[in-house]
Amino acid sequence: MIYTVTFNPSIDYIVDVKNFELGSVNRTSAELMFPGGKGINVSMVLSNLGFENTALGFLAGFTGKSVQKMLEVNGVNADFIEVEEGLTRINVKIRAQQESEINGMGPAIKESDIKKLYEKLDNIKDGDILVLAGSIPAVMPETMYSDIMEHLKDKDVKIVVDATKDLLLNVLKYKPFFIKPNNHELGEIFDVELNTRDEVVPYAKKMQEKGARNVLVSMAGEGAVLVAEDGQVYKSPCPEGKVKNSVGAGDSMVAGFIAGYLESGDYKKALNKGLVTGSASAFSDNLATKEEVEELEKVFCSEA
């Protein structure tokens, strides 16, 4: 079984406004609404690709119930903890002359809620995959990711981490199956600017030396780099297409990599699947569907 954890889910409300004006009444020309959060995006795409998975995390209030329902409609097993105080946040993205975002706060998560999460994590078995993705709400311990990995250290679980800065660095000693920083996040860790695939490689290797088994670095239009635990370094451009929406593209790459690895056990094929899946989401208003991935795969993987 594949499990994902989203600590601060959301309803993502995306609106197009042709000429946004501050201080005025603005009317939308198009609207989209999705369940949001990095782990949730991974779950949604895995479900689209035909991989059963369970989404864990915290939900609250009527917005939380809406997220639960949207996930269930999409075929995701949503096993969230219901928090008593507050609301699952609504994140608003305004697409106008420039893109602007307003992100909500999220509910008040208590120690008793965190305890319930650990009880659910205890159901994870040897051979399962756990995806830890996204930021930690301010009301929770900053060590949450490393605490979870410490809790599961005696189980043979493949743990995937998509996080930034100390949240990522602190888990490396637990040897996560793979991590997925982007080139800017990786550069920030080492205080360097990384713009090309060749520039990324030595710093990805440094992350591997610190404990990560596989390091997948996403680079938007530049493609991706994978420093694999078998000693190989794979560098690839991304498929060509028109970017419509970058939200969830990195999470889709994580889902695609997991799917590709489970299908083949081959890191190069997993990288290609990750690139294609991330691109399919970027080229669509929604997260990638299986049909979109397969169509892009026919062209890209024949050329790769």
* Distance in angstroms (rounded) separating the CA atoms of residues 79 and 93: 27
Q: How far is CA 112 from the centre of its chain?
A: 26
Token readout for 169 is: 């660095």
Residues 6+ apart with CB under 8 A from 55: 3, 4, 6, 39, 40, 43, 71, 76, 77, 78, 79, 80
Token readout for 191 is: 């205080």
The strand pairing partners of 132, in sequence order, are 5, 161
Helices (H), 110-164: 111-121, 144-151
Query: Which one of 166, 251, 266, 285 is the catalytic residue?
Result: 251
DSSP state of 125: -
* Distance in angstroms (rounded) separating the CA atoms of residues 255 and 252: 5
Other beta carbons within 10 Å of 121 = 17
- Ranges assigned E (strand) in 242-299: none
Determine whether 147 is an active site residue. Answer: no
Considering only CA atoms, which of 221, 217, 181 is closest in space to residue 200? Answer: 217
* Distance in angstroms (rounded) separating the CA atoms of residues 172 and 163: 11
299 with 272: CB under 8 angstroms?
A: no
Residue 254's Cβ-side half-sphere holds a number of Cα atoms within 13 Å equal to 31
As annotated, the active-site residues are 251
